[in-house]
Amino acid sequence: MNVVLGVGGGIAAYKAAELARALMRRNCVVNTVMTASATEFVQPLTFAALTGRKVITGLFDGRSPEAVLASSVEHIGVARENEVLVVAPATADLLAKFTHGLADEFLSTLYLAFAGPVVLAPAMNTNMWDHPATQANLATLRARGHRMVGPDSGDLACGTVGPGRMAEVEAIADAVLAATRRQDLSGETVLISAGPTQEAIDPVRYISNRSSGKMGYALAEAAAARGARVVLVSGPVNLPVPAGVEVVAVRSAREMRDAVMAHLEAATVIVKAAAVADYHVTEIAPQKLKKTAARLTLDLDPTPDILAEVGACKGDRLLIGFAAETQNLVAEARRKMTTKNADMVVGNLVNQAGTGFEADENEVTLVLRSGETHQIARASKRDVAHQIFDHALRLRLALHAKQ
């Protein structure tokens, strides 16, 4: 695999040389692009000697960025499939340039021309990291689906202690490999449920919840990108349908149950990301209920537990559930995994600012049938979706190996 290693001008630039080696150990061909200030920290010759490839520096040599890019496209393989752009260290300046689409030197120009996955390993002084400008830039870049690795916390070169140190090179190299969109779900049918359900009270009112469907839709998009046939059973949401995904629109828990069961046979992986209502109104009023001075009591009956029903007849299909919690995340996720016979439960704290319901980002804990738990750090829902599938596929291999 060809990787473009973009090196920014920070003290951590020397670690980028180790990253080049870590990538080469993973059978990557490394093409280095350095900003002008990066060359103040490390000589281009270091990377040229390590990688055996010509290094592109940040200078345009008096030519326009477009002319440099045009003449170099072949060399750095910008447009080639399955390539990754990894920027380490990603300085505050580079993050700002990427966010705003500046193309005033080679690396930021390359960023704009690059269509593949992008991995960023930020490194900077803690105050620069904490600054609202940097944090806003990071949010934009994460929303574009770029994978962030680090920064770690610790002693910084500037003498302070806090977040800002570039992540370990092995972690960055692993993220580069994970970012390549392998077609590892081709031949599979992935059945996903997403969004809330609506339980009618009368013809104009219903009981529902705050689920936006974003996580389930991100999972559908990720599965389709990895080559799966995707059937998305969706409660009422306001989201565009991801390309290539078949949608079955439903409203109530009962309708969702029937749609899921109807598509179960063909599915090899089932992801129950929907926030299903636990109760429905016992008798839906045929006409609009009229207001009176008296107290109104609604009788509610439990809805079918779709995840548990699928768990009871899933065979060797991989079943992934969700647990939306406000406390005791891991214990509750584990309990749901066991009682509903899921292979993995994605635990989601839904009372934190910026993640969970309605948010564009998420931060989840995976509880696996194998006994492991994995923490997925805050990232765009698209990125989290890919990481969920990475773990799910690994889990399935481990479970099959055991049999």
Contact present, 381 and 361 (Cβ < 8 Å)? yes
Q: How far is the CB of 206 from ligand CTP (least distance, A)?
A: 16
In the complex with ligand CTP, the residue whose CB is nearer, 228 or 253, is: 253
Number of H helices, E strands in the chain: 14, 19
Give 169 or 324: the residue with its C-beta nearer to ligand CTP.
Answer: 324
Instruction: Give the interface size with ligand CTP as a residue count (CB under 6 A).
Output: 14
Applying CB under 6 A, among 44, 150, 321, 356 the residue interacting with ligand CTP is: 321
| Residue with Cβ nearer ligand CTP (17 or 344) | 344
Rounded Cα distance between 392 and 399, Å, is 10
Q: Which of 323, 337, 368, 388 binds ligand CTP (CB under 6 A)?
A: 323
Instruction: State how far the Cα of 32 lies from the Cα of 17, in Å rounded to an integer.
Output: 10
Q: Among the residues of 196-270, which ranges form H helices?
A: 214-225, 253-264
303 is an interface residue for ligand CTP by CB under 6 A: yes
Q: Which is nearer to ligand CTP, 307 or 384 (CB)?
A: 307
If one asks whether residue 322 binds ligand CTP (CB under 6 A), the answer comes out as yes
Using left for φ > 0, alpha for ψ between -120 and 50, and beta otherwise, residue 206 falls in beta
Q: How far is the CB of 352 from ligand CTP (least distance, A)?
A: 15
What letter represents residue 123's amino acid?
A: A
Q: Which of 133, 158, 204, 398 is catalytic?
A: 158
Burial 163-173 (b: 16+ CB within 10 A, else e): bbbbbbbeebb
Q: Give the Cα separation of 212 and 144 in Å (integer).
A: 19
Buried b / exposed e over 301-326, threshold 16 CB at 10 Å, is: eebbbbbebbbeebeebbbbbbbbbe
Count the residues in the chain: 403
Q: Which stretch binds ligand CTP (CB under 6 A): 227-235, 262-270, 299-307, 375-383?
A: 299-307
Could you say whether residue 255 binds ligand CTP (CB under 6 A)?
Answer: no
Q: Is residue 213 within 8 Å of residue 310, measured between CB atoms?
A: no
Residue of the chain from 4, 12, 222, 324 that contacts ligand CTP (CB under 6 A):
324
Phi-psi group of 402: left, alpha or beta (phi > 0 → left; psi -120 to 50 → alpha; rest → beta): alpha
Stretch that binds ligand CTP, among 83-91, 102-110, 222-230, 300-308 (CB under 6 A): 300-308
- Site map (CB under 6 A) of ligand CTP, residues 265-284, x = contact: -------x-x-x-x------
Residue in the block written with tokens 């090179």: 169
CB contact burial 204-224 (16+ within 10 A = b; e otherwise):
eebbebebbbbbbbbbbbbbb
Residue 314 contacts ligand CTP per CB under 6 A: no
CB of 178 to ligand CTP, least distance (A): 24
Task: Please indicate whether residue 158 is annotated as part of the active site.
Answer: yes
State which residue, 121 or 307, has the beta carbon closest to ligand CTP.
307
Q: Return the sign of the alpha-carbon dihedral for residues 201, 204, 209, 215.
A: positive
Q: Where are the beta strands (DSSP E) in 110-216?
A: 118-122, 147-148, 152-155, 161-165, 189-194, 199-202, 205-207
Q: Does 87 bind ligand CTP (CB under 6 A)?
A: no
**Per-residue contact string for residues 128-157; x = within reach of ligand CTP by CB under 6 A:** ------------------------------
Closest to 368 (Cα-Cα) out of 395, 350, 328: 395
Q: Quick one: 278 or 363, whose CB is closer to ligand CTP?
A: 278
Q: How far is the CB of 371 from ligand CTP (least distance, A)?
A: 20
CB of 324 to ligand CTP, least distance (A): 4
Binding mask 334-353 for ligand CTP (x = CB under 6 A): --x-----------------
Q: Are 381 and 362 in contact (CB under 8 A)?
A: yes
Q: Which of 7, 231, 306, 337 binds ligand CTP (CB under 6 A)?
A: 306
Nearer to ligand CTP, 86 or 274 (CB): 274
**Residues interacting with ligand CTP, by CB under 6 A?**
253, 272, 274, 276, 278, 303, 305-307, 321-324, 336
- Catalytic sites, residue numbers: 158
